[in-house]
Amino acid sequence: MSISKLDRLQKRIDTLLEWQSCLVYLAEEHLTPFDKWCIRNEVSNEDQLFIANLCMMFSLHLYPEKEHPDKERILNNFKKMFGAKDIEISLKTFNNYLEEYQNNQNHFLRWDARELLDSLLGS
């Protein structure tokens, strides 16, 4: 790519970032803590779907009816999706899934699992 194309691309990125900042400022009171976390961490819609599925998989383990057929079916689907045999419910495991996903998606920002869960809790 030529220098002039790179310069134009950089200018375009800078302009889009300025607009993003303005829009976030205008909508700030309407955004949830999770929305703000997603903006700060450049989380795409696809990333949000992954996070929702990951949270659902972990929360299903806390469902009171241990032998509910729908729970088992959904958990098995999630285990296949995440390539897991058993799922240990811990922050470390949750963080490992986040890191693996980010490595596979070539993200350049690293997400903090505790910060993510705190933002979801506040939403």
Distance in angstroms (rounded) separating the CA atoms of residues 49 and 82: 13
CA–CA distances in Å: residue 33 to residues 39, 40, 63, 95, 109: 10, 11, 25, 19, 18
Rg (CA), the chain: 18
pLDDT in tens, 86-105: 777 788 888 988 998 899 88
Contacts of 123 (CB under 8 A, 6+ apart): 32, 33, 34, 35
> Which stretches in the chain have pLDDT values below 70?
none
Contacts of 21 (CB under 8 A, 6+ apart): none
pLDDT at 48: 93
pLDDT at 33: 92
Q: Which residues of 75-105 are buried (b: 16+ CB within 10 A; e: fewer)?
A: beebeeeeeeeebeeeeeebbebbeebbeee
Q: What's the pTM value of the predicted model, to 2 decimals?
A: 0.72
Provide the total of helices (H) and of strands (E) in the chain, helices listed first.
6, 0
